[in-house]
Structure formats: structure tokens, C-alpha cells
């Protein structure tokens, strides 16, 4: 009998992936999302590595918890190239992803380049683009597959807002 290797139940990346799947904006159930957060706290409460780092009240208000999984070793420029490749293949959301053509890493935004985009920002992009609920769910999945960083989303939002004015 073979066994499949799996990550421990306290793995942060796996919790983020699970919560991203059950998030209401990704087609999940609100009650299930809340319940899963409670289970995560229960399972991870004894593991020092899984405890969130203390944040100032300023940071806590600005940093949403529900984000696209984005491992620390993700290369920002490679993620940008992947998004542009997907866009050039005529995939859904290709025109939206093409807005990243002039997105470059910026040292003063390194904190945004090293974390996954929040679902709140993805929803803002979907709203400005005029997506339906089904299109928005697809957009979230594309953002997870690439993966998109907060910096990518900020760049797209900036371009969309400039177009709207």
C-alpha cells in the first residue's frame, strides 16, 4: 500500500488555499468559510509557526486576511511574464492581464510584490471591469493559478481607474 505525502495540518499555505476555495466570492459558502477559520485557529493554536505575527492597528486595518496563496519564493517578474503569456494566448481575462505589460518591480512596493493579492482587490478589479459573478469566480481562479501579487492588482487597478477618468 502506498501513501501520499502530505503537508502537516498546520501548514499556512494549505490553510490559505482551503480558505480561498470556500470564500463566498470564489463560489463558496459564508458559513463554511467562517467555520474553516475557527477550525484553523483550533488546529494551529499550539503551533508557534502558524500564529500570526503581531501587527500594529494601522497594519491590521490595511492588510486583509483572505489572499491568493503566494509562497515567499514566488518570483514577481516570472509571475508577471506568466500573466502576460496567459493574456496573449487569448484566454479569458487576456485583455485585463495585458494591462500588466508595463508592470515592473519597485523597491518601495516590495511588500506588495511579496504577498498574494487580496480577494477584496480582485473584487474591485472585477467591479471596474464589469464582470458578472461567474466571470468574477473565474477571475479569482486565474489570479490563483498565476499567482498574482498585491502589486499586480494595484497596477491593474491604477490602469483601470485612469481609463475611467
Span 21-41, pLDDT tens digits: 888 777 888 788 878 888 888
- pLDDT of 56 reads 40
User: How does pLDDT run across 99-109, given as a tens digit for each residue?
Assistant: 999 999 888 88
Do 45 and 125 belong together in one domain? no
- Asked whether residue 61 is domain-assigned, the answer is no
**Are 40 and 116 within one domain?**
no
Handedness of CA 44, 46, 50, 56 (dihedral sign): positive
Q: Do residues 152 and 80 share a domain?
A: yes
Residues 138 and 82 in one domain: yes
User: Torsions phi, psi of 136, nearest 5?
Assistant: -65, -40
**Within a domain: residue 6?**
no
Instruction: Note whether residue 64 is domain-resident.
Output: no
Domain range holding 104? 76-164
Residues 85 and 118 in one domain: yes
Cell of 16: 490559505
The answer to whether 152 touches 100, Cβ cutoff 8 Å, is: yes
Residues 80 and 30 in one domain: no
| Counted domains in the chain | 2
**Helical H runs in the chain?**
12-22, 30-44, 57-62, 76-88, 94-97, 110-113, 119-129, 133-145, 150-164
- All three cell numbers of 51, joined, read 500564529
The answer to whether position 24 is within a domain reads yes
- CA–CA gap between residue 36 and residue 40 (Å, rounded): 6
Express each pLDDT in 71-91 by its tens digit.
878 899 999 999 999 888 777
Based on the fold, state whether residues 100 and 34 are members of the same structural domain: no
Q: Is residue 40 part of a domain?
A: yes
91 with 156, same domain?
A: yes
Same-domain status, 19 and 80: no
Q: Looking at the domain assignment, is residue 129 inside a domain?
A: yes
pLDDT digits (tens, 9 = 90+) for 107-161: 888 889 999 999 999 999 999 999 999 999 999 999 998 999 999 999 999 999 9
Same domain, 27 and 93: no
Q: In whole numbers, what is the pLDDT of the chain averaged over residues? A: 82
Is residue 147 assigned to a domain? yes
The reported pTM is: 0.61
Residues 84 and 38 in one domain: no
Contacts of 146 (CB under 8 A, 6+ apart): 79, 82, 83, 86, 152
Q: Where is mean pLDDT largest: 6-15, 43-52, 91-100?
A: 91-100
136 and 86 together in one domain: yes
Does the pLDDT value for residue 11 go beyond 60? yes
Amino acid at each position: 500500500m502506498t501513501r501520499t505525502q502530505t503537508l502537516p495540518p498546520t501548514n499556512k499555505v494549505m490553510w490559505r488555499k482551503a480558505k480561498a476555495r470556500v470564500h463566498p466570492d470564489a463560489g463558496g459558502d459564508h458559513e463554511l468559510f467562517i467555520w474553516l477559520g475557527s477550525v484553523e485557529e483550533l488546529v494551529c493554536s499550539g503551533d508557534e509557526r502558524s500564529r500570526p505575527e503581531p501587527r500594529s492597528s494601522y497594519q491590521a486595518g490595511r492588510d486583509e486576511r483572505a489572499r491568493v496563496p503566494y509562497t515567499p519564493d514566488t518570483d514577481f517578474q516570472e509571475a508577471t511574464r506568466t500573466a502576460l503569456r496567459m493574456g496573449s494566448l487569448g484566454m479569458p481575462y487576456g485583455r485585463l492581464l495585458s494591462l500588466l505589460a508595463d508592470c515592473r518591480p519597485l523597491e518601495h512596493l516590495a511588500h506588495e510584490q511579496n504577498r498574494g493579492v487580496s480577494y477584496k482587490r480582485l473584487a474591485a478589479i472585477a467591479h471596474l471591469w464589469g464582470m458578472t459573478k461567474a466571470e468574477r469566480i473565474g477571475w479569482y481562479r486565474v489570479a490563483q493559478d498565476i499567482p498574482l501579487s498585491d502589486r499586480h492588482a494595484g497596477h491593474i487597478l491604477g490602469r483601470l481607474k485612469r481609463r475611467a477618468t
